[in-house]
Amino acid sequence: MSAIDIDHVSKHYRTGAGIDDVTLSVEHGEVFGFLGPNGAGKSTTIRLVMDLIRPDAGRIRILGREVRRGGRAVRRRLGYLPGELALYEQLTGGQMLDHLASLREGRGTGRSVGDLAERLHLDLGRPIRELSRGNKQKVGLIQAFMGDPEVIILDEPTSGLDPLMQREIRSLMRESTAEGAAVFLSSHALNEVSEVADRVAIIRAGSLVATEAVEGLRSRAVRRIEVRTTTPIPEDQLAALPGASLVASSGNHATIDITGSMDLIVKVLARFEVLELVAGEPDLEQIFLSYYEDQRRETADEA
């Protein structure tokens, strides 16, 4: 039984935006990245999963129960951070979290509010209206993780946080999945999601265009290599390599883009005396952007 099961779900608005025939599942013990730019359908999908809006077609189950029929019972087992966080400004962070914990049958088990607040360096005694944007986000994150929910749905969770806090949130996600929870992580930044996610789905104009393991994306990502040798590398040897593209060549220095395995390029370079070799990180962002380049070309062709 999947933690989240979205089965051929569609939701259309008068404006035409929404999602169309989306099918995906999120398993226990995994971080599932849900990627797309603003307006692609990420928030609509999350609102449907949370039963805040109703689909025009299809079915959604969480922990084996249809959200429309078992909404209250299901939501007590969920942690949810919305993209647009609304808090009671007149309350302190501690009072707000106490109120939310009471709606989820208390916080006696699992991660406590106090432990999470200490970990995220949040002062629970300050009124929410006095908190910075980042500290308000921490209040939202604490209520999403407190009590160790079985399913955690996060919409742009690191918005407004500094890099150290972003790393801490990623650690919380990994700890949660190690304990069997499922994390559904919505974001527009592929490189950030790829650091923590096991699988990703990319949504474009309301339709899924890809769902695969992060390692599968990495295997198709472009890696740029800068190499300097004692003698020039013949360009025809580089051009003959599958997945290799010569970007620039000047004397004994070459810049090469590699897609996929590094094995063949290493074997070619082994024939030369290498003075310097620099290999960049795989450019996953280019894969992400390529789906939207395809969309722009299709729109231009139709026009």
Supply 259's token pair. 């897609």
pLDDT at 34: 93
What domains are there in the chain, each with its CATH number? 4-213 (3.40.50.300), 222-281 (3.30.70.1560)
pLDDT at 16: 77
pLDDT at 283: 59
Using an 8 Å Cβ cutoff, are 81 and 141 in contact?
A: yes
Residue 205 φ then ψ, to 5°: 50, 40
**Would you write out the chain's pLDDT as a tens digit for each of its 303 residues?**
899 999 999 999 988 779 999 999 999 999 999 988 778 899 999 999 999 999 999 999 999 999 888 777 788 889 999 988 889 999 999 999 988 888 776 444 567 899 999 999 999 999 999 999 999 999 999 999 998 899 999 999 998 899 999 999 999 999 999 999 999 999 877 767 888 999 999 888 899 988 888 877 777 777 888 999 999 888 888 777 888 888 888 888 989 888 877 888 888 888 899 999 998 766 566 666 666 665 555 544 554
pLDDT digits (tens, 9 = 90+) for 221-258: 778 889 999 998 888 887 778 888 888 888 889 898 88
Strands in 101-252 per DSSP E: 151-155, 182-187, 199-204, 207-213, 222-229, 244-250
Paired with 250 in beta bridges are 253
**Which residue type is seen at 271?**
R
pLDDT at 300: 46
pLDDT at 281: 67
pLDDT at 102: 81
pLDDT at 288: 65
Using an 8 Å Cβ cutoff, are 182 and 152 in contact?
A: yes
pLDDT at 303: 47
For the sheet containing 57-62, what is the strand order? 18-26, 4-12, 57-62, 65-66
Please identify which residue in the block is written with the tokens 């302190």: 92
- Residues 6 or more apart whose CB falls under 8 angstroms from that of 205 comprise 40, 41, 295
- Residues 6 or more apart whose CB falls under 8 angstroms from that of 18 comprise 10, 11, 12, 41, 44, 206
pLDDT at 108: 44
Nearest to 148 by CA among 170, 172, 124: 172
pLDDT at 140: 95
Task: Give me the half-sphere count of Cα atoms (radius 13 Å) on the Cβ side of residue 105.
Answer: 13
From first CA to last CA, the distance across the chain in angstroms is 45
